[in-house]
């Protein structure tokens, strides 16, 4: 016999919960409509711009070419250098404010119509339709056992995907290396190993993102989908379902008095769900996965016309409009973004078109000063002159800042397009004309054939201490 009190564990067992949700394949249905046509036009324009610009010529070089080894970035008639990196920062800020403006005004229309992820995904879904059929046919094909027909269709689809991915990767790399040379080197097998790597990398990236990941990129990987909800307000145009008009959902016979049955305009056909590239039901309200593509609007409007109801059950509208309040499209935040965007764009354009095409940097010799044979105080400098233009120039070098200043060295130099020159010069001044031990002077370079091309740079002239 024991003195211990028997203990029994009566804690209920909690059910195990699997936090991993397997991705469900989204089978989109073909549809037609206004917004689909707009998206096709926008997509064709973007594809033509991306695939075609890289083949344009400007003189003896590629029109758009980002020459990383030589640190030269050619955009048609303009050449940009690492010294112009600030312009890129400004451009990115302008693009960010443009995105803020369009988001406040019309929600995620960028995502639905012009985002590369969306554009390429729509193209890849079109490849699916061509090779495997529409929604029901694809679902039936995936459930069917492997056969010659299934293998042929799947192979054709992936061949199209890889081909589009290769065209994308090849074109993208072509912006960084001359695309005509790249094409010949790839065909002949003489391309650099890095060229094969990057073309293959971007081919694979396009294939995976547009072919396999798709809506997962929009929902889980894209930062824009996370902060866009902060940009929205109740006056933002969003794709929305009108529950006041649509509820209660349910099927009905055509021509029947559905109002007497307590039904709304929504016949619950679920076409709005079947055409959605992210697989959401817009009738559940605004969701983070909605990319504002308006595919559900086109599908719903088509159904409304067929059953004889007014269009617009799903539409671009605002929360205020849905609740019966007045929508204010012009509001302080929108005006603020527009004003900032206009100002920054104007300043950016002015800076780009008025940027100097010559760069001047002055390096002073480490020796403070010396006295030459004539008894004048002399300082030695090295001028770094960069010709940022696409043609040769002859520059004249000048120096000012002290009375009786004499510039010794080359006064006229020739710099070919894109050349960086190191020009040694010396400045001598009579000791009586030196007001202090440290004096500000200014160097300038001026193109002899174009006075608008000039640049100045300040430096110091050192002399003996004056007691």
Question: 425: domain range?
Answer: 358-462
End-to-end CA distance of the chain: 111
Task: Say if residue 315 is in the same domain as residue 393.
Answer: no
pLDDT of residue 440: 94
Give the pLDDT mean for 89-112.
93
> Does 417 fall in a domain?
yes
Task: Say if residue 380 is in the same domain as residue 445.
Answer: yes
Decide: 231 and 225 in contact? Cβ < 8 Å: no
**Comparison of pLDDT for 314 and 7, the residue scoring more:** 314
| pLDDT at residue 2 greater than cutoff 70 | no
CA 213 centroid distance within chain: 20
Edge-to-edge strand list for the sheet holding 72-75: 64-67, 72-75, 78-80
Give the pLDDT mean for 250-259.
87
> Does 139 fall in a domain?
no
Quote the pTM value: 0.86
* Domain end call among 274, 306, 322: 322
Q: How many residues does the chain have?
A: 467
> Does 300 fall in a domain?
yes
Give the pLDDT mean for 248-260.
88
| The pairing of beta strand 64-67 with beta strand 61-62 | unpaired
Per-residue pLDDT tens for 283-334?
999 888 999 999 999 999 999 999 999 999 999 999 999 988 999 988 999 9
> Does 6 fall in a domain?
no
pLDDT of residue 226: 80
| pLDDT at residue 10 greater than cutoff 80 | no
> Does 434 fall in a domain?
yes
| pLDDT at residue 18 greater than cutoff 70 | no
The CATH number of the domain holding residue 363 is 2.60.40.10
Residue 39 CB partners (closer than 8 Å, separation 6+): 112, 113, 122, 293
pLDDT of residue 466: 65
pLDDT of residue 19: 65
> Does 330 fall in a domain?
no
Task: Say if residue 456 is in the same domain as residue 364.
Answer: yes
Mean pLDDT, the chain, whole residue set = 92
pLDDT of residue 11: 76
Cα 370–Cα 375–Cα 376 angle in degrees, nearest 5: 60
Distance CA 206, CA 203 (A): 5
Residue 256's pLDDT band (cuts 50, 70, 90):
confident
Distance CA 324, CA 459 (A): 68
| pLDDT at residue 1 greater than cutoff 70 | no
> Does 207 fall in a domain?
no
* Domain end call among 322, 342, 375: 322
* Domain end call among 322, 344, 374: 322
Residue 419 has phi, psi (to 5 degrees) of: -85, 145
Encoded tokens for 232: 């929205």
Range in 12-26, 114-128, 208-222, 224-238 the model is least confident about = 12-26
Residue 71's pLDDT band (cuts 50, 70, 90):
confident
Task: Say if residue 452 is in the same domain as residue 383.
Answer: yes
| The pairing of beta strand 377-387 with beta strand 314-317 | unpaired
Distance CA 131, CA 156 (A): 6
CA 278 centroid distance within chain: 21
CB-count burial class (<10 Å; 0-12, 13-18, 19+) for 9: exposed
Task: Say if residue 454 is in the same domain as residue 366.
Answer: yes
pLDDT of residue 77: 85
Number of domains in the chain: 2
> Does 272 fall in a domain?
yes
Per-residue pLDDT tens for 320-374?
999 889 999 889 999 999 999 999 999 999 998 888 889 999 999 988 899 998 8
Per-residue pLDDT tens for 145-177?
999 999 999 999 999 999 999 999 999 999 999
Task: Say if residue 421 is in the same domain as residue 364.
Answer: yes
Per-residue pLDDT tens for 407-446?
998 899 999 988 889 999 999 999 988 999 899 999 999 9
pLDDT of residue 336: 94
Q: Kindly state the percentage of the chain with pLDDT values over 90.
A: 73
Residue 20's pLDDT band (cuts 50, 70, 90):
low
Give the pLDDT mean for 24-30.
93
| pLDDT at residue 17 greater than cutoff 70 | no
Q: Kindly state the percentage of the chain with pLDDT values over 70.
A: 97
| pLDDT at residue 231 greater than cutoff 90 | no
pLDDT of residue 355: 86
């Amino acid at each position: 016999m024991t003195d211990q009190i028997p203990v029994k564990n009566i804690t209920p067992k909690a059910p195990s919960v699997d936090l991993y949700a397997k991705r469900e394949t989204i089978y989109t249905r073909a549809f037609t409509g206004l917004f689909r046509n707009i998206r096709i036009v926008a997509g064709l324009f973007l594809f033509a711009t991306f695939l075609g610009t890289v083949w344009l010529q400007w003189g003896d070089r590629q029109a758009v070419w980002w020459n990383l080894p030589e640190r030269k970035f050619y955009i048609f008639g303009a050449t940009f250098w690492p010294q112009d990196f600030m312009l890129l920062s400004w451009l990115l800020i302008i693009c960010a404010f443009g995105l803020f403006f369009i988001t406040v005004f019309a929600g995620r229309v960028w995502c639905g119509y012009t985002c590369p992820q969306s554009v390429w995904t729509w193209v890849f879904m079109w490849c699916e339709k061509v090779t495997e059929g529409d929604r029901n046919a694809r679902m039936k094909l995936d459930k069917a056992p492997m056969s010659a027909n299934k293998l042929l269709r799947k192979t054709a689809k992936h061949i199209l995907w890889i081909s589009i991915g290769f065209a994308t990767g090849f074109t993208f790399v072509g912006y960084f290396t001359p695309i005509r040379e790249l094409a010949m080197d790839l065909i002949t097998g003489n391309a650099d190993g890095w060229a094969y790597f990057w073309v293959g990398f971007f081919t694979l990236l396009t294939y995976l993102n547009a072919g396999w990941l798709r809506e997962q990129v929009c929902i889980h990987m894209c930062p824009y989908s996370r902060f866009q909800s902060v940009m929205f307000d109740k006056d933002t145009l969003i794709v929305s379902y009108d529950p006041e008009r649509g509820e209660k959902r349910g099927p009905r016979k055509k021509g029947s008095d559905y109002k007497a049955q307590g039904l709304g305009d929504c016949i619950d056909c679920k076409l709005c769900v079947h055409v959605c590239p992210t697989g959401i039901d817009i009738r559940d309200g605004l969701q983070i996965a909605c990319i504002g593509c308006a595919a559900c609007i086109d599908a719903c409007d088509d159904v409304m016309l067929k059953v004889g109801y007014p269009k617009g059950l799903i539409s671009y509208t605002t929360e205020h409009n849905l609740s019966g309040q007045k929508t204010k499209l012009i509001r302080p935040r929108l005006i603020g973004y527009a004003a900032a965007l206009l100002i920054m764009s104007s300043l950016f354009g002015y800076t780009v078109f008025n940027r100097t095409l010559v760069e001047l940097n002055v390096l002073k010799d480490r020796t403070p000063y010396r006295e030459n044979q004539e008894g004048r105080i002399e300082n030695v400098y090295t001028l770094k002159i960069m010709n940022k233009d696409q043609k040769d120039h002859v520059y004249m070098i000048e120096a000012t800042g002290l009375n009786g200043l004499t510039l010794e060295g080359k006064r006229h130099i020739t710099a070919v397009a894109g050349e960086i020159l190191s020009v040694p010069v010396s400045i001598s001044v009579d000791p009586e004309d030196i007001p202090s031990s440290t004096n500000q002077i200014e160097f300038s370079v001026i193109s002899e054939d174009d006075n608008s091309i000039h640049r100045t740079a300040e430096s110091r002239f050192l002399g003996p201490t004056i007691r």
